[in-house]
Structure 1
Amino acid sequence: MKRMLAFSLLLMFTAGAISGCNTFEGAGEDIEQGGEEVQEAAD
């Protein structure tokens, strides 16, 4: 049950991330922005 829930959440997150980026350049920018936010939170 937990695996199915985790897989569903991962699938929804992936679909949202892909649909939010129309180009590979946009995907790279989104990933970079996410990394910067994680880095700022760690500081």
Structure 2
Amino acid sequence: MNKLNAPQRKSRSLVIAAGALAVVTLLGACNTFEGMGRDTERAGEAIQDKAK
């Protein structure tokens, strides 16, 4: 009976690993976009200061 359950365990582990990888990737992307937004804001502020 253990041999019959082995493929299910393997596929379940694969799904869990893929989900964890997706979560880590998405969290990293959020941080990247936040940093890009700050850089863009600073560049805009610098342009405004030069225009004054």
- Higher RCO (CA-CA < 8 Å; seq separation 6+): 1
Q: Comparing both structures, which one devotes a greater share of its residues to helix? A: 2
Normalising by structure 1, report the TM-score: 0.50
State the structure with more CA Rg. 2
Normalising by structure 2, report the TM-score: 0.42
